[in-house]
A and B are shown apart, each in its own frame.
Chain A
Amino acid sequence: MSILSVKDLSFDYPDKSILHRLTFSIDKGDFLCIAGTNGTGKSTLLKLILNILRPLEGSISLLGKSSVNFSEYDKIAYVSQKATSFNRDFPATVEEIVSLGLYKKNSFFKRESKKEREQKIDEVLKKVGLTEYKKKKVGLLSGGQQQRVFIAKALISQPEIIFLDEPTVGIDVSAVDSICCLLGDLNKAGLTIVMVTHDISSVLYHSTKILILNEAGGGKLMDSEKFNSKPIFAHFSHGGHNA
């Protein structure tokens, strides 16, 4: 069953055409890696899917619903690129930031008890390996640990699909590896993942599909196994237009 479907999607910025008639779809349980050189519209595509930007043409279906009228925000989660440039002096603990992820599950009249909230935070911190950092200030953690905090914030609402925008930017190689392994494990446990990255080699082993965007505004979707059989640079030429 297709969990995300993009059809004939086009988008322009005032000074530049970014995406042109892009079409692809992924199924529930996939781990899609969106790659491409700078300026090919990787983050823009994510923002279009999440309805932060409106497409010029084409349609997007997320969890079986048009992205324009999408309202089931409790079923999706997003780790923004902004989180990677987190202000180190921001005075919030791991616990406080992670609990923000529960916002969409709550309303003014329906909030979980403190005990329930603590339990959920403990569970998700265990999942990302940060149990002992619960009371620490996020700014005092390393880049890799901070990214785990933001992933935990996204996971705490138990989404069906999680979107990550360049989660490995600005963190050291060993931390990149452990984050990619964490995402791989989450995917094996059934979570659908859509991740934008410029560092395709580190996540290739864990992903199931790769979408390569090109400078002509098109993209090529392929299985990760197939992608592995050729040298990486061979995929970034102006080849196929759409998946």
Chain B
Amino acid sequence: MLEIFTMPFMQRAIVVAICISVITPLIGNTIVLKRLSAIGDALSHSGLAGVAIGLCFGFNPIMTAVVFSIISALIIEYIRSRFSNYSEMATAVVLSFGVGIAAVFSGFIKNAASFGSFLFGSIVAISQTELITVVILAIFVLAILLFLYRELLYTAFDEESAQLSGVPVRSVNLIFTILTAIVVSIAARTVGALVISSLMVIPVACAMLVSKSYKQNMIFSVVFALLFTISGLGVTAFYDLKPGGTIVLIGIAVLILLIFVRKKE
């Protein structure tokens, strides 16, 4: 029964799942604390537009998704700086733009199943090249997130005070948004573009219910994400379900359980 885990496609899926489970909640921590949860949705839809363009013109879809998401992230930052009191407008504009482009270009893709695998994730679809791309990008994102640990905590706590303490707030925000775009794009293949924002938020929400510090929150959110993703992939392999949906539903179940347990305490 466990033979499936010795198969190369499953091993590739597990490596990618581990990479994503480490970096996604780390990004999610800042996103949740800054109350920007919708940004994940906006960038994942932009990533989808990048995937559609990549598949249409024969480029690596993960790379086109990364490029498209980064451009969208820059547009979000620009709109947020122009309309600081209406920053949520930026995510709505970019989300609609991404959906529009994805819808138009998806009509020209010869292999519709390939595009569908990015919507809800697909463990069998990960190639050796994509595995290497994801691992390299994940290491890059992790290194920058650890380097900016204090800056991200400070800006999440209070941007004004951070600025007066010499934190380059605008640069930190810009780098962070670009990292979010990269993470969303590379995670689309495993959990799917439509559910990636859930993987950013749910492990963090679970961690917030049990952690006693910011550092613990980061660690616990990664542990929860690993738990959801690996168990989700296991269930997927045995019951032939869509991985994205399965992972998110496991996460939601754990979150409800934790809320219930904490309420009882």
Interface residues of A (CB under 8 A from B): 50, 52, 73-74, 76, 78-80, 82-83, 87, 89-93, 95-97, 100-101, 103-104, 135, 137, 153, 157
Interface residues of B (CB under 8 A from A): 33, 150, 153-154, 156-158, 160-167, 207-208, 211-217
Bound complex: CA of A217 vs CA of B217, how far in Å?
47
Bound complex: CA of A73 vs CA of B163, how far in Å?
10
Contact of A78 among B164, B207, B216 (CB under 8 A): B164
Chain A: minimal CB distance from B95 (Å): 25
4 smallest CB-CB distances across A and B, nearest first, come from A91-B217, A92-B214, A93-B213, A103-B165
**Contact of B215 with A100 in the complex, beta carbons under 8 Å:** no
**Contact of A78 with B161 in the complex, beta carbons under 8 Å:** yes
**Contact of B212 with A137 in the complex, beta carbons under 8 Å:** yes
CB contacts (< 8 Å) of A100 on chain B: these are 150, 153-154, 157, 161-162, 165
**Contact of A80 with B160 in the complex, beta carbons under 8 Å:** yes
**Contact of A50 with B213 in the complex, beta carbons under 8 Å:** no
Given A92-B153, A93-B212, A103–B160 Cβ distance below 8 Å?
no
Given A73-B166, A76-B164, A137-B213, A92–B150 Cβ distance below 8 Å?
no
Contact of B165 among A83, A97, A104 (CB under 8 A): A104
Given A135-B212, A137-B212, A137-B213, A92–B163 Cβ distance below 8 Å?
no
Sample of 5 further A-B pairs with CB below 8 A, known A76-B164, A78-B161, A103-B165? A50-B164, A52-B163, A73-B164, A78-B164, A91-B217
**Contact of B165 with A90 in the complex, beta carbons under 8 Å:** no
Task: Closest B residue to A52 by CB, please name it.
Answer: B160
Bound complex: CA of A109 vs CA of B156, how far in Å?
24
Bound complex: CA of A91 vs CA of B262, how far in Å?
16
Q: List 25 A-B contacts (CB under 8 A).
A: A52-B163, A52-B164, A74-B166, A78-B160, A78-B161, A82-B160, A83-B158, A83-B161, A90-B33, A91-B208, A91-B213, A93-B212, A93-B213, A95-B213, A96-B153, A96-B215, A97-B157, A100-B154, A100-B157, A101-B165, A103-B165, A103-B166, A103-B167, A135-B213, A153-B161
Give the A-B contact count at a CB cut-off of 8 A.
Answer: 70
Bound complex: CA of A153 vs CA of B161, how far in Å?
10
Chain A: minimal CB distance from B20 (Å): 22
Task: Closest B residue to A51 by CB, please name it.
Answer: B164
Bound complex: CA of A135 vs CA of B213, how far in Å?
8
Could you say which of B158, B163, B212 has the most chain A C-beta atoms within 10 Å of its C-beta?
B158
Bound complex: CA of A101 vs CA of B165, how far in Å?
7
Bound complex: CA of A92 vs CA of B155, how far in Å?
13
**Contact of A93 with B154 in the complex, beta carbons under 8 Å:** no
Given A52-B163, A91-B217, A103–B154 Cβ distance below 8 Å?
yes
Task: Closest A residue to B204 by CB, please name it.
Answer: A91
Chain A: minimal CB distance from B235 (Å): 29
CB contacts (< 8 Å) of A90 on chain B: these are 33, 156-157
CB contacts (< 8 Å) of A157 on chain B: these are 165
Task: Closest A residue to B35 by CB, please name it.
Answer: A87
**Contact of B164 with A96 in the complex, beta carbons under 8 Å:** no
**Contact of B150 with A103 in the complex, beta carbons under 8 Å:** yes
Chain B: minimal CB distance from A241 (Å): 30
Contact of B213 among A78, A79, A96, A103 (CB under 8 A): A96
Chain B: minimal CB distance from A225 (Å): 32
CB contacts (< 8 Å) of A96 on chain B: these are 153, 213-215
Chain B: minimal CB distance from A82 (Å): 5
CB contacts (< 8 Å) of B216 on chain A: these are 91
Chain A: minimal CB distance from B208 (Å): 5
CB contacts (< 8 Å) of B215 on chain A: these are 96
Chain B: minimal CB distance from A155 (Å): 13
**Contact of B213 with A92 in the complex, beta carbons under 8 Å:** yes
CB contacts (< 8 Å) of A97 on chain B: these are 157
CB contacts (< 8 Å) of A91 on chain B: these are 33, 207-208, 211-214, 216-217
**Contact of A82 with B211 in the complex, beta carbons under 8 Å:** no
Bound complex: CA of A50 vs CA of B150, how far in Å?
22
CB contacts (< 8 Å) of B164 on chain A: these are 50, 52, 73, 76, 78
CB contacts (< 8 Å) of B217 on chain A: these are 91
Bound complex: CA of A50 vs CA of B76, how far in Å?
28
Bound complex: CA of A90 vs CA of B153, how far in Å?
10
Chain B: minimal CB distance from A75 (Å): 12
